[in-house]
Amino acid sequence: MKSLKFLTVFSLPISVYFSFNMNGWYTFLPLFLFFGIVPILEFLFKPTPENFNKEQEQIEKENKMYTYILYLTVPVQLYFLYLFFYAIQEPHLTTFELIGRLFGMGLMSGTLGINVGHELGHRNNRFDQFLGEILLLSSINTHFLPYHNAGHHFNVATPKDAATARKSEIIYSFWIRSHFTSYKQAWQLENKRLKLSGRSWFHYQNRMVIYTLLNIILLSSIFYFFGTFVLICFVIASIIGILLLESVNYIEHYGLLRKQSESGRYEKVKRTHSWNSDHVIGKLMLFNLSRHSDHHYNGSKHYQILKSLPESPQMPTGYPGMVILALVPPLWFSVMHTKLKEQ
């Protein structure tokens, strides 16, 4: 039964359903839920740093229900993408209402598409990885997997990592640097992998080649069946989802760096190299992504058994609240530079 608490994430698609089928302010219900109600609730509920004991951890590790909940997000994401294509073409839809629905789909793409795609992309079986690729394709962010697994996890908390925010770097410039640099490095990593195996970069085993073709097919299909307006709206919603991802990247490692030896080698990744959050609602809505320190310590560990440890630097609130804080750079620097001095 412990696994069922993660069904909380489906409050987001429920709110998006209302957004797609109602008008006026109701179209902004998903945005209000994620960045209004959730941050308030996280101030009301105390963080929960408790972990499973060894026996419980083994039981929950083998509990398939946690994985089935992830699987359920795939048809939900695809169904809502289909609904979105029609919801934005509703007659007499105002610009205000259109913006609300764009943000609703964008939150779906960032939370279910990219976040769950990230979790499934770390699994060691091809079926789970394939579902993760479908979710990432629904947000046209497929380059995430090659870069994240082989680049970000290897270079995290170093200047080499596109997804590690430097101290005093504002979130708006980070969005651009992180996204485009990670895309470039995804190509470099795949090209290097193919070269080491004696193959040309232009090979069907180069995931970036396949992902690029799939992105072109997806965008062309949307244009063919739904037209230019729907295609533009889909791209905008995907960008919103990608910016949500990059905002999360920004807060997860902000200002944290691994020590470098005289030879130039960096120390091993520790649980001190990621910001952690044990705020209840954020953990449930994002499948324990906020226990990010343990995730980087062991990237293959399933989300339900991620631990909170005292040496991990702690965020003052959960992810949604931290993203809001990051959008106001002077306030962000004031809070986080004080936290950095404590580390």
Domain ranges (residues) in the chain: 2-256+263-342
Amino acid (one-letter) located at 264: G
Residue 57's nearest CA partner among 303, 297, 229, 282 is: 303
Single pTM value for the model: 0.95
pLDDT at 44 over 90: no
**Residue 29, amino acid:** L
Q: What is the dihedral of CA 172, 175, 31, 44, to 10 degrees?
A: -80
Decide: 136 and 142 in contact? Cβ < 8 Å: yes
- In the predicted model, what is the mean pLDDT of the chain? 94
What are the tens digits of pLDDT across the range 271-313? 899 999 999 898 999 999 999 999 998 888 999 999 998 889 9
Backbone angles phi, psi at 340, to 5 degrees: -65, -35
How far is Cα 290 from Cα 47, in angstroms, rounded to an integer? 11
Report the candidate in 160, 150, 102, 163 with the shortest Cα–Cα distance to residue 122.
150
The predicted pLDDT at position 100 comes to: 97
Q: What is the pLDDT of residues 185-198, one digit of tens each?
A: 999 999 999 999 98
Give residue 264's pLDDT. 85
pLDDT digits (tens, 9 = 90+) for 228-279: 999 999 999 999 999 999 999 999 999 999 998 888 899 999 889 999 999 9
> How many Å apart are CA 86 and CA 234, to the nearest integer?
11
> What CA–CA distance (Å, rounded) separates 108 from 42?
21
d(Cα 157, Cα 180) in Å, to the nearest integer? 18
pLDDT tens sequence across 144-176: 999 999 999 999 999 999 999 999 999 999 999
